[in-house]
Amino acid sequence: MSSRAGCRMSLVLVLVASAVLFLLPVSTALAREPSVVTSVPARSVRTLPVARTRVAIPAAQRPMTASQMAATHGLTYRDAGTFVLLEGGSLRVRIYPGTSTVVIAGRSYRVKDPALRSQRDVVLSKRVAGFMNHKIGAYRADERVRSRLYTAKRPRYEPLPPLPPKPVRTKRVVKPIRTAKPKPVAARPHPVTAGRGWVPPTRDRKWKWIVLHHSDDLSGNMAKYDDYHRNDKRWEHGCGYHFVIGNGSLSGDGEIELGPRWPRQLHGAHAKTPDNRYNDFGIGICLVGKFNDGAGRPSRAQMDSLVRLVRWLMARYDIDVDKVHGHCDCCSTECPGKNFPWAELKRRVRR
């Protein structure tokens, strides 16, 4: 037993000596190096600033102005006062500042964050900007597909009838010749599509705009809308439109019918605004049809008559093509529908 205890004691001494020999150089090196640990008071430790890292916000989640959105998608920017219009090709986007209404390609949307005015521009929140960028991008993609599929040839159109010459007042002294009175002959009605009925019979009103509508039904004519406006809405002067272009249902396809207001050059009742300027000085033209859903759009004959009538009115009253509006440009509505071919109309009336 004593020999075993001696062996254990010698083994312990050997292990202790080895540890001392191993730790001695390390302690000597630490003694030579200056101390890198400094004592910090407890109060200062609690008040040390915490480093904060900045996270960059993606561009799609930042607020965006209407002009920036127009530049992003290659659209033109126009501030019309009550709304902001972004336009390019057949795409028309209207933003109404101070409200939650946004109209994209003839379709109205209600957003959670209303658009706000900032000096000469309109600011959109990041949610609304992201939503509108998505809708505009999807529409432009569909527009490119439609442009490749639509390859029909355009026919040539007859020019507008010439403007009637202004009467020249001259003093002529002619002796009356007594002749037998001719028998009265009943006047034969002439078609309005020939352009004769477009000329005001007595005086011209100072028209400034041309406002286009669709009837939002599949059959109609001037008599139908005149009866509805006169008897149901109790309007004194009858139909609120100055012209109605038929679609072949209750009148001829492309037939232009005069309203009771046009011969007397009375104001319209088709685009109500606070200042009523589009009714007072805007010529209302209604195309019979429903162009807001499905594949509904004006017929070829309707577009031919509309182009001839608009070009004649522009020449008669010196109205620029930028003053040819839709009902949706004057009020919060989708008329004349998202399928209305604005690009085709403006291209043809500029010829």
CATH top-level class of 200-349: alpha beta
End-to-end CA distance of the chain: give it in Å, rounded.
124
pLDDT digits (tens, 9 = 90+) for 287-300: 999 998 888 899 99
Q: Which of 124, 90, 87, 89 is nearest to 109 (CA)?
A: 124
According to the model, what pLDDT value does residue 310 have?
Answer: 92
Domain positions in the chain:
60-143, 200-349
What pTM does this model have? 0.47
According to the model, what pLDDT value does residue 98 have?
Answer: 87
Of the two residues 324 and 7, the one the predictor is more confident about is 324
In Å, what is the CA distance from 106 to each residue of 92, 209, 225, 337?
7, 20, 24, 6
Fold of 60-143: Copper Amine Oxidase; Chain A, domain 1 (3.30.457)
According to the model, what pLDDT value does residue 142 have?
Answer: 81
According to the model, what pLDDT value does residue 294 have?
Answer: 82
Percent of the chain with pLDDT over 70: 71
Q: What order of strands is seen across the sheet that includes strand 84-88?
A: 76-79, 84-88, 91-95, 101-104, 107-110
pLDDT digits (tens, 9 = 90+) for 34-65: 443 344 444 443 444 434 444 344 544 568 88
Q: Strand 107-110 to strand 116-118: parallel, antiparallel, or no bridges (unpaired)?
A: unpaired
pLDDT digits (tens, 9 = 90+) for 128-181: 888 888 888 888 888 777 766 655 545 555 566 777 777 777 777 667 776 666
pLDDT digits (tens, 9 = 90+) for 68-99: 888 888 888 988 888 888 888 788 899 998 88
Q: What are φ and ψ of residue 135, in 5° steps?
A: -65, -45
Side-chain half-sphere exposure of 73, counting CA atoms within 13 A:
28
According to the model, what pLDDT value does residue 169 have?
Answer: 73
Determine the residue type at 23: L
